[in-house]
Amino acid sequence: MGKAADATAGALRTTVVGCGAAAQILYRKPLRRLERQGLLRVCALVDTSEARARALGAFFPGASIASDLEASLERTASELTLVLSPAHLHHRHSICALRRANHVLCEKPMADNADSCREMVAVAREANKLLAVGMIRRFVPAFAEFRQLLLSRRIGTVESFRYAEGRRFDWDVTTPAAFRDRSQGGTGVLFDIGPHAIDVLIWLFGVPRATAYADDGLLGVESNLRIELGFPGCSGSVQLSWDSPLQNELRVYGSGGEAVLRLDQFDRLAVDTGAGWSEIVSTHRHPADLRQPARDSIGPRLYTDAIFCQLIQVLRAIRLGEEPAVAGQAGADCVAVMEAALRLARPLEMTWLSPEHQRAQQLLHWTRRR
Amino acid sequence: MSVIGIVGAGGYVGTSLIESLVLDGVRDVRAIVRAYRSVASLARFGSAIELRIADADDAESLTSALDGVSTVVNLTTGPPASIVRSTAAIHASARAAGAERLIHLSSAVVFGAVTSASTDDDSLPDSRHWMPYARAKSAAEAFLRCHISATGPRVTVLRPGIVWGVRSPHTMQIVRMLLEKTAYLVGDGSGIFNGIYIDNLVACIRACCSPVPDGAGFFNVADDERVTWREFFSAFAARLEYDMARIPRVSRSRCPISKGLVLDWLLSLPSVNGLYHRSKRHLPDAVKVSLKRLLAGPYAYGGVASAYATNPGVDRELWHLQRVEHKLPHAKFAARFGPARRVSFEEGVRRTFEWLRFMGYARVG
């Protein structure tokens, strides 16, 4: 993208497409904060449900309400579009915004298949606009601290890891889109929590190759899965669940010790190099303004803080030409890994079921109809 | 067509019931949940089940969701203040929709510590129980008792004890206590673990779905074995690197004071309990995060804590559960519905370990 170094330009006119849970719970407060700071102005809210758009509109009285992104962008001048719609619409909405000269911040997953991601990257390049992918974990202090810890080789050479994230799904979604069959836009747990997991691992270790994948999807999308991944120099497993309390940690084993990143805490990690576990409280901070260099910073303790930092970084990328945390290509790499994993799918071995139910689980698994 | 409508299908018991029905090839299953978020645990069944969104407190939306259903299974949970209201709404909706059967899941907790050996399926619950949940379950039973012989669906009330095993939040609580070395026994651990393995509860619910001539009434449902709390903890301890010889014992006569106990006591006050359930979704995130951190113990980065708690924080509910004196009789259920296929305690533990191993908790032992 081209360098636009004018940090003093007026508030960036911003369109939000998708006014459901992500917009209401995660983005609303940070957007209002940025409006108060004069850095951004929400000029249009787009959702197929007028009620949802109007509910969000109550917090952004100057924004127009629309049900169609294309029509909204024609009518209301906009420079940045936040794509917060259901995952299967990310590709369409991002392309639409990029082709109308908008920069785009697209929530994860970038799209539901790798071809769509590639097209998004190409269109952004053609349009000379920013395409960033929303990966909130990059702004959680403990994650950045953990990366530094591994880079410092405090546990020696990384050999293996185990990533486990799962709990009862409690996100107040406003549509059942994520739970539908994949052919109808469903994400399953793979394209829901998966992007967080894979993106963090790519950030830490590089782009992996999926070597095995198993899930529990029958006539619908999976609620539980396990992926085996091979990276240059290390390998490990990712386990994700929508219905069971997993350990919610990334555990990395190195030649000289072990390190744990707690996925449900913003600032806690620990390391054991042979003398017992030592907990580290992260003090990592992110820029909180558009000055160069930043004079204000923030150490997020809540998801809304992390979203604020993510938005600031997108604004810095647009205004100052800095790199976004996750550019389109990195988002595309993440989707490509998940897509490759799905091609290896086999039924999860659910050995806690009765023998009859284990057989039925194998027979009913979605891969039987592939 | 005999359609089973499961209200509150997205919970732990609902997910297990639907899994059992789908894997056995039963196709006329309708899952009814309050919010889209509850669909996540059912997503894998896809088109094998029919899905409806309805509020269990709202008879009108529920009646529409139950249209064409012959058997209604009420597995709803929620704040104590809503339990009687949702029970009444589900009963009214089942009746309005012309359902033949209503299976209502109550809880053995309504009998408190089961201090009398003569407590049976038809004994009256303790309506003055200290726990708001137990009082609400008692009140819901009282409501259904008044409607059991009225025209409308046949009402079957099942009273499971502690539902344990695969995916059980209760079992996870015990497992975490063992891993974190914060487990304790009340007295010598001889209190009765009035439990039922999840698959056995599912089998009981499924038995009630069949057209048995005289299936109305109140039924305790439980595992066949008589298990003490010491035996229950021991069944899990060895493979979680917990030495039962070192488990602390706490008084059986007086619940030890802890910050958790004070919180439990406060929350058991009806006014505080109501306020808590009304306001908990509106608490600022920063307050929730701080509260969680305040209540959480130290994290076992090694997977298993190294030191045994000598003065463990006692949970009031678990303390009371460990004081249960008698195993509730459950022969009435088998007499009425026939002997259900049972998973033994030993097999239940084995299956639970398989699941824990998959979850990454249990060491292979």
In this prediction the ipTM stands at 0.91
Q: How far, in Å, are A186, A218, B201 from residue A369 at the CA level?
A: 17, 10, 32
Identify the DSSP state of A11.
P
Q: B85-98 burial, b for 16+ CB within 10 Å, e for fewer?
A: bbbbbbbbbbbbbe
Whether the CB of B83 is below 8 Å from some CB of chain A: the reply is no
Whether the CB of A369 is below 8 Å from some CB of chain B: the reply is no
Is omega for the bond preceding A109 within 30 degrees of 0, making it cis?
yes
Residues in chain B closer than 8 A to A219 (CB atoms): 44-48
Nearest to B46 among A164, A181, A262 (CB): A181
B42 to chain A: closest CA residue: A223
Whether the CB of B301 is below 8 Å from some CB of chain A: the reply is yes
Contact B43 A221 (CB under 8 A): yes
Q: To which H or E segment does residue A140 belong?
A: none
In this predicted structure, what is the pLDDT of residue B312?
85
In this predicted structure, what is the pLDDT of residue B218?
96
Nearest to B285 among A260, A304, A357 (CB): A304
In this predicted structure, what is the pLDDT of residue A158?
98
Is a pLDDT exceeding 80 seen at residue B123? Answer: yes
Return the closest-CA partner of residue B299 out of A281, A169, A198.
A281
In this predicted structure, what is the pLDDT of residue A4?
37
**Burial class, A210, CB count within 10 angstroms (exposed 0-12 / middle 13-18 / buried 19+):** buried
Say how far apart CA B360 and CA A226 lie, in whole Å.
11
Say how far apart CA A53 and CA B317 lie, in whole Å.
44
In this predicted structure, what is the pLDDT of residue A135?
97
Is a pLDDT exceeding 90 seen at residue B275? Answer: no
In this predicted structure, what is the pLDDT of residue B262?
80
In this predicted structure, what is the pLDDT of residue A7?
46
Whether the CB of A367 is below 8 Å from some CB of chain B: the reply is no
Contact A172 B37 (CB under 8 A): yes
Mean pLDDT of B207-228: 92
B300 to chain A: closest CA residue: A277
| Angle at the Cα of B322 from the Cα atoms of B316 and B327, rounded to 5 degrees | 135
Say how far apart CA B46 and CA B29 lie, in whole Å.
12
What's the whole-number average pLDDT of chain B? 90
In this predicted structure, what is the pLDDT of residue A49?
97
Beta-sheet pairing, B50-53 with B71-74: unpaired
pLDDT in tens, B59-91: 889 999 999 999 999 999 888 889 999 999 999
In this predicted structure, what is the pLDDT of residue B151?
80
Query: Residue A23 — φ and ψ, nearest 5°?
Result: -65, -45
CB B38 within 8 A of CB B14: no
Neighbours of A233 (CB within 10 A): 10
Contact B172 A245 (CB under 8 A): yes
Q: What is the largest CA-CA distance in chain A?
A: 67
In this predicted structure, what is the pLDDT of residue B316?
86
- % of residues, chain B, pLDDT over 70: 98
Mean pLDDT of B37-46: 96
Mean pLDDT of B264-271: 78
Beta-sheet pairing, A103-107 with B50-53: unpaired
Q: How confident is the model at residue B362 (pLDDT cuts 50, 70, 90)?
A: low
In this predicted structure, what is the pLDDT of residue B363?
63
Task: Identify the segments of chain A with pLDDT beneath 70.
Answer: 1-9
In this predicted structure, what is the pLDDT of residue B315?
87
Whether the CB of B20 is below 8 Å from some CB of chain A: the reply is yes
Whether the CB of B287 is below 8 Å from some CB of chain A: the reply is no
Half-sphere exposure of A15 (CA within 13 A, CB side): 34
Whether the CB of A219 is below 8 Å from some CB of chain B: the reply is yes
